Amino acid sequence: MIENTFVHIDGVSENVEKKLWEAGIKSWKDYCDNYDKIDFISEKKKATIRNEIAFSRQHVEDKNLKYFTDKLNLNQHWRLKDLGKICFVDIETTGLSRWTDTLTVLGIYDGETSHIYIHDKDMQEGYKKLREFDTVVTFNGKQFDMPFIEQKSGEKFNFVHFDLRFLLKELGYAGGLKKIEKELGIVRDGEVAEVDGREAVRLWKRYLRGDENALRILLKYNEEDIVNLDYLLNFYLSEKKKLLGF
């Protein structure tokens, strides 16, 4: 979708972009192919846009996310989904405080494989894994998951961040992750269907007392979280494209 937008170009407002789309100019290619037919933009601005499109194409080829994040408003960053490496992240903790509570489980889904890391076992490997990615997808991760991870790892991760809590709210879906999943017809495996954040804490405590099955259930719960984030992002993008007429 990055090649369908023009608002990253200086002087191009959302209104100008809308006029381009309404005129059938829905991509950079359309713009260049129909350059001489565009009569509602000054010749000077038209030339500037064409030059910027050439620069933008090079930055897409180079997968230069920073070029676009510097130029796009946060509410347009979803367009960068296909640039760089993307992962879906969810954590389990013993509470809400990133200073006093424990990060027990870190789940990372790369679109094909789930990578799940456990406190006091291989959590450092999880932080290392995160460094492989350019974009992170979470649910409420801007307020919870990523600050928690950064506090515990001692690192600052400069991701492009898609927080589905706020993206889905644009479409009218509010509330917690499990509530939204149910509204969209996502059914979790029976073993973890009723597990929530509080139960996740109890499962961890049972594991600390020697219950390995509790850990297995906790990890399964976390994995369903991260895999479902992939589905939810694709749902959001599909609905967003429909709203924009693509």
pLDDT digits (tens, 9 = 90+) for 234-244: 999 999 999 99
Residue 54 confidence class, pLDDT cut points 50, 70, 90: very high
Is 90 exceeded by the pLDDT of residue 183?
yes
Over range 183-206, report the average pLDDT. Answer: 94
E strand or H helix at 137, and its extent? strand 135-138
Over range 133-153, report the average pLDDT. Answer: 98
Q: Please give the Cα distance from 183 to 22 (Å, whole number).
A: 33
Question: Smallest Cα–Cα separation from 48: which of 61, 35, 67?
Answer: 35
Q: Residue ranges per domain, the chain? A: 2-80, 86-244
- pLDDT value at position 185? 96
| Predicted confidence (pLDDT) per residue in 215-240, tens digit | 999 999 999 999 999 999 999 999 99
**Residue in the block written with tokens 């002087």:** 11
Residue 246 confidence class, pLDDT cut points 50, 70, 90: confident
Over range 61-69, report the average pLDDT. Answer: 95
Q: Which amino acid is at 190?
A: G
Average pLDDT, the chain: 96
Instruction: Please state at what angle helix 197-208 crosses helix 212-244, rounded to 10 degrees.
Output: 150
Q: Which CATH homologous superfamily contains domain 86-244? A: Ribonuclease H-like superfamily/Ribonuclease H (3.30.420.10)
21 token code pair: 């789309």
E strand or H helix at 138, and its extent? strand 135-138
For residue 218, the Cα-to-chain-centroid distance in whole angstroms is: 23
Residues 235 and 162 sit within 8 Å (Cβ to Cβ): no
Residue 124 confidence class, pLDDT cut points 50, 70, 90: very high
Question: Smallest Cα–Cα separation from 86: which of 133, 127, 149, 132?
Answer: 133
